[in-house]
Amino acid sequence: MRTTLRLLAATALCAAVPAIARDQAVTAVQTAPALSLERVFASPALTGPAPRGVKLSPDGRWLTLLRNRADDRERYDLWGFDRTSHKWRMLVDSLKLSSGRDLSEAEKMQRERQRIGDLKGIVSYEWAADGKSVLVPVEGDLFLAGLDGTVRKIAGASGDVLNPALGPKGKNLAFLRDRRVWVGPVAGEGTPVAVTPEEASPTVHWGEAEFVAQEEMSRFKGLWWAPDESRIAVERFDEAGVGVVTRAAIGAEGTKTFDQRYPVAGSPNAEVSLWVMSPDGGARVQVDLGPDKDIYLARVDWAPDGKTLYVQRENRAQTVLDMLAVDPATGKGRVLFSEQAPAGGWINLSDDYRFLADGSLIWWSERDGFGHLYHFKDGQWRQLTQGPWVVTGLVGVDQKAGRITFTGTKDDVLAQQVYALDIAKPEKIERLTDLAFVNDATMDAKGQTQVVSRSGDAQPSQSYLADAHGKRLAWIEENKVAGDHPYAPFMASHRPAQFGTVAAADGTLLHWMMIAPVMEPGKTYPVFTYHYGGPHAQVVTKGWQGALAQAIVDKGYIYFAIDNRGSANRGVAFELPIAKAMGSVEVEDQLAGVNYLKTLPFVDPKRISTFGWSYGGYMTIKMLEAHPGTWAAGIAVAPVTRWQLYDTHYTERYLGDPQRDMGVYEKSNALADTAKIADPLLIVHGMADDNVVFENSSAIIAKLQGEAVPFEMMLYPGFTHRISGPTVSRHLYETMFRFLDRNGGYRIVVVGATGNVGREMLNILAEREFPCDEIAAVASPRSHGTEIDFGESGKKLKVQNIENFDFTGWDMALFAAGSGPTAIHAPRAAAAGCVVIDNSSLYRMDPDVPLVVPEVNPDAIDGYTKKNIIANPNCSTAQMVVALKPLHDAAKIKRVVVATYQSVSGAGKDGMDELFEQTRAIYMPTGEMSPPQKFTKQIAFNVIPHIDVFLDDGSTKEEWKMVAETKKILDPKIKITATCVRVPVFVGHSEAINIEFENEISAKEAQDILREAPGVMLIDKREDGGYVTPIECVGEYATFVSRVREDPTVDSGLSLWCVSDNLRKGAALNAVQIAELLGRRHLKKG
């Protein structure tokens, strides 16, 4: 039994006693704090340190990385670990190099492509060849930082510099500025000079990767130094033929427009060429890429000896990838080999290959249906890895030892590991990492030292230095969640992820992940499903899922994700079903996950919502179109709605050429079936999005409006595809959850929310997880604008003024305002279509208003439509009829004599305060005791046989209420007399009830009946303490019955003791139970 009040000893009365009894609760167990969205996005980051760009110096002595600041999670500085002294120190403080200048538009766009647009400070760096200095770009300027702490700004390398690249020998530096390549010496007095022509057309760029190469091909470089620095390979592209999209960066200060060259599906790409030149720009030779100009420049690499330039050329359809071996002196090349796409499929580009000193190549390919490693030597192929799993990355090659290190899913598709094999004997694969974690790694150029990063369910990312065989040499970031780690306070409530599978329609097993809150037996919970659903992504893994998922669980949701067919790391056959069929199998597989959820007894099947971003946003819309009524609500962030608006390389890879495959596009688009959307939809978009351009959302907005389909929208002026940053991220997710709260149940008003009963109504609504879309706290004008807790949910409600509150559109109003305000505002609410559940005495005896106790007379609620009002009985009546009802049904009650012992909380906050002040005055005399205000006599250490006003027959109105209300609720033929007494107890009404029956009933029979009765808790042991007192019932829902015994003064009679929390069953709880009954019978949702 939960107890929220304990004995109030006189010695403790010197402590302040709050006016509301539930605020006196003594918490026996301190639980972890709830994880709020505000905390998730605040600094320091809950993941702990989040290093980026881990590298080893050329001589192997130093390990360097970019580390974010504890007080600014988005700002990064350069740190170094001296492997000799085993000490860390900051090598470059980004704040000291910052000019405060805004980034150029070109750098902003490039960072957006790299998904680092929200980062500040140092976002990249490069070691010099001698291992004694580091090249550091900051806000368009270049600096050379020495290990001795010196930092030198490179002359002539400032002002919107992009993509700096040190020569492999450390002599020269190349970078981009004003669409040209500039080269200069690293040391000495020389300044950089432009080595590419100054083009008249602003559409021509040298040394830069074109848009689709950055966005879709993960190629961000447009220049490549030869190993001996004798030559540079430089890309040139001309985007004159690419269509222009006017991108409006709408911000709070106004609107800026940018003409962006954006190659939509089916339109011309930038024309790309590749050139080889000397560092001074001389001896420029164009590489022969073949007669077809409509190709993709996928990858460019120099052979280790610098004698050959290797170029990967991909055709426009992305079905053939040619490896060209080019003579850099002449630009002439030959096809070394070609990679062919599977039938009906495409080529997945990869960076997992390595040219070796002996002229051979380690190569990743999906030619056998799974991504594996191959050795290409002397024109012959040898497969190194094989099986129904995938190699996810080539980590490094120790050419001297003939050893390859790679990552893959050999042991667990959900937990990537690091492995190694000998090229000569590849059949023996050695796992180097712990299966309890999801692992990744990078290596030094010699393939002898690796940096392993890993995470687990309850462990944010860690990183350590290891040798080639996986032996840990030193922690880089142990990131142990303990002590002062930002996430440590929340570990006690961290909920582990669970994993399983369901079958798709074709029998393919789909992996799901679930994180559930602490569950109570018999309760059901809403589900927040996250999906991406598109290719090249895997959502379900056994790694760290992030603090956001835990915060969602702390809100009471089950967090769920499932990887559908079309997603990554399951092989070609798993990915291929989306070919020319986007928005089909992915939707059905997500539905399979939802259907599984609905079989679980703890899932509320009517409160499963879905959320996705980018491709996931597209999926949300397609899911709501295909299966209306399945989801409680859907959220689509930055959704693609017309694939003709998305870029060439991505879209044509999966859907083909829209000029030839228009039917495929129309079927895959998210606009054809918008009229079928019946579930609440929230669309979110950054208005400066240069990836999924805003026209996608404006297209569906216009379509939905034209079809009169309701939806909601949130726009973020000035934000791009990611909509990121601490405050805006918090705003986005709070917006999302307010939307979900509004679309899972009812709109509820609590009137008189700041009083004892009103607060208790809010507590109980929260405790019982009443399905509220929206809840409003309303009170008198003096409380307007104050905040009140919505139970223990952590949610704050701003109190609104009853005088001007509009009840239109609200489902139910729970009134706890007293008869005066109720007389004014309850009819107004009822006339607006809002059902009133009133706790005052105003309507209890109105013949057109049902007086309801759900356990006793639930059918009476059907009469609420006469006035749209339901009355809640007097607190003493409510608990008594709950106990009497089952006995009346069994033996028919003839007569009832009741004496009540009613607590001061029945008189409101003022009554509780008066008891406290009088008691304190007695035990801590500081002057005369104040005269009674709320009661007619002193209440402390006294009883008062007088509640409410006296009537002509000598009874009080409280006693009349018990008589009249019991007759209306239970049976008008029952004879009743009551004596109502106020006692010095803060919360909990007690009643001594004597009952005379028409039919025989024994005490034992009565106990058996009461033990099974709804709403009753029988605690009746004939021994010391074998009964319930008021202090034990506080905070409980039940009506407690004790001391059941036979009355020998009548032929068939019983006496019993009845106790209940008057603020709960006597008022707030009964009102909420009425609301629940009304919802089940008349105001059904979903």
Q: Which residues are catalytic?
A: 614, 689, 721
Bridge partners, 136 (sequence order): 143
Pairing state between β 380-383 and 391-398: unpaired
Contact status, residue 916 vs residue 17, Cβ threshold 8 Å:
yes
Contact status, residue 1056 vs residue 1045, Cβ threshold 8 Å:
yes
Q: Which residue has the tokens 């329609």?
A: 505
How far is 1015 from 881, CA to CA, in rounded Å?
11
Residue 607, both tokens: 């409160």
Pairing state between β 361-365 and 353-355: antiparallel
Cα 1029 to Cα 422, 748, 834, 943: the distances in Å are 77, 34, 38, 17
Contact status, residue 310 vs residue 325, Cβ threshold 8 Å:
yes
Q: Which residues contact 660 (CB under 8 A, 6 or more apart)?
A: none
Q: Which of 182, 135, 129, 125 is nearest to 156 (CA)?
A: 182
Give Dmax over CA atoms of the chain in angstroms: 122
What Rg, from alpha-carbon coordinates, does the chain have? 37
Residue 200, both tokens: 């008249």
Helix, strand, coil abundance in the chain, percent, nearest 5:
25, 30, 45
Residue 806, both tokens: 């509009």
CB count in 10 Å sphere of residue 978: 23
Q: Which of 673, 674, 656, 675 is nearest to 665 (CA)?
A: 656
Contact status, residue 1081 vs residue 900, Cβ threshold 8 Å:
no
Sign for the pseudo-dihedral over CA of 716, 722, 724, 730: positive
CA angle 491, 492, 496 (to 5 degrees): 70
How far is 1021 from 1041, CA to CA, in rounded Å?
11
Q: Which residue has the tokens 């005379």?
A: 996
Burial class (CB in 10 A: 0-12, 13-18, 19+), 108: middle
Can you spell out the DSSP letters for 43-104?
Answer: SSPTT----EEEEE-TTSSEEEEEEE-SS-TTEEEEEEEETTTTEEEEEE-HHHH---PPPP
How far is 719 from 700, CA to CA, in rounded Å?
20
Contact status, residue 674 vs residue 709, Cβ threshold 8 Å:
yes
How far is 894 from 413, CA to CA, in rounded Å?
72
Residue 727 has, within 13 A of its CA and on its CB side, a CA count of 2
How far is 57 from 80, CA to CA, in rounded Å?
10
How far is 123 from 403, CA to CA, in rounded Å?
32
Q: Which of 974, 511, 417, 740 is nearest to 406 (CA)?
A: 417
Contact status, residue 684 vs residue 716, Cβ threshold 8 Å:
yes
Burial class (CB in 10 A: 0-12, 13-18, 19+), 537: middle
Q: Which helix (H) or strand (E) holds 764?
A: helix 756-767
Three-class SS state of 1045: strand
